[in-house]
Amino acid sequence: MKFCIVGAGAIGGLLGARLAMAGHDVSLVARGAHLAAIAAGGLAHRAPDGRETRLRLPASERPEDFGPQDAVIVALKAYSIAPMLGRLAGLLGPDTAVVTAINGLPWWYFHREGGRFDGSRVECLDPDGAMLRALDPDRIVGCVVHTAAEVVRPGAVHHTGGARLFVGELDGRVTPRLRALAAAIDASGLEAVVTERVRDDIWTKLIGNLSFNPVAALTGELMDEICDSPALAALIRRMMEEGIRVGEAYGARFAVDVDERLAMARRIGAARISMLQDLERGRPLELDAIVGAVVELARRVGLPTPTIDGVGALLRARAARARRA
């Protein structure tokens, strides 16, 4: 298959490298020093066991350089997606799928959702509907990534743990394009789980993100260090419980309870969580997609989220101070 990875950072770089190693035709959209290093010396992929592979892949900051694809994988930070959607047109053929391998609640969440809010917007993510207009949401395949990676230096991605990706159509069908995508992922050495209820999988990951990400950014702790701290683990538990109540109010079914979700996090190991990576590198944080959207949906149905609200307020203050520094 022909893939373009839009946002070839930690997760995007990992996916691009693994797909290319499996023999697929992969191009990368990146920018800055990371792009320069890839263009000069290729993309270095370090596996969890330490083995490193360097791949020479076409890379550009211009998605229009690569032409129509079988699939476009969007692996951008949430705040970078809106400006990019209108630039994807040159990558889109009649049957091109757009796979959103992103954190947090996606802007398309209520498209073909089937509940009482079907077709509505998540206001903090897409206040005027521009994102839904910029890309036909029927092209979208939802993707929930349960793997951890880090850009350890420009042009070098370290796969630190996890290997599962949940992929699903927004209306729950199991389509030929979904099967082809899953087969490509499986062939790369990662594991694709085809799901008929991708929003359930979004919420399962989201309750971890909305708790672990802010706590990591505020404390500087790695995933295993948070899990090993009784006080921090108790805080994480309260945030997860609040998030589960919000998800259930929108029909989400959680296949795992809080203890199991904590165990999933522990299995990832000594990972530097994405929001901590962003804070340390002076980047914006995915506050709205990971925290703000959950609070917005909670208020829409009259649910309180006191722990999420308090930690979110601390994190916004911390992010604002980092921006001023």
If you count DSSP H runs as helices and E runs as strands, how many of each does the chain have, helices first? 13, 10
- Each domain of the chain, given as residue ranges in start order, spans 2-196, 200-324
pLDDT tens string 198-244: 999 999 999 999 999 999 999 999 999 999 999 999 999 999 999 99
pLDDT at 265: 85
Instruction: Give every CB contact of residue 240 below 8 A, 6+ residues apart in sequence.
Output: 207, 208, 211, 258, 261, 262
pLDDT at 324: 82
Q: Which residues are catalytic?
A: 205
pLDDT at 284: 92
pLDDT tens string 135-148: 999 999 999 999 88
Tokens for 173? Answer: 């069908």
- Right CATH number for 2-196 from 3.40.50.720, 3.40.50.2000, 3.30.70.20, 3.40.50.1100? 3.40.50.720
Tokens for 167? Answer: 């992929």
H-type alpha helices, 163-271: 176-187, 198-219, 223-228, 230-249, 258-268
How many whole angstroms separate alpha carbon 47 and alpha carbon 324? 36
Q: What is the pTM of this model?
A: 0.94
Domain 200-324: CATH architecture, name and number where available = Orthogonal Bundle (1.10)
What is the distance, to the nearest Å, from the Cα of residue 323 to the centroid of all Cα atoms in its chain?
Answer: 23
Q: Which of 146, 193, 144, 139 is CA-nearest to residue 171?
A: 139
Amino acid (1-letter code) at residue 3:
F
Mean pLDDT of residues grouped by 10 in the chain (325 residues)? 97 98 98 97 95 97 97 96 96 98 97 94 96 97 93 95 94 97 97 98 95 96 94 97 98 93 84 88 93 98 98 95 84
Query: Which residues does residue 70 pair with via DSSP β-bridges, in sequence order?
Result: none
pLDDT at 261: 87
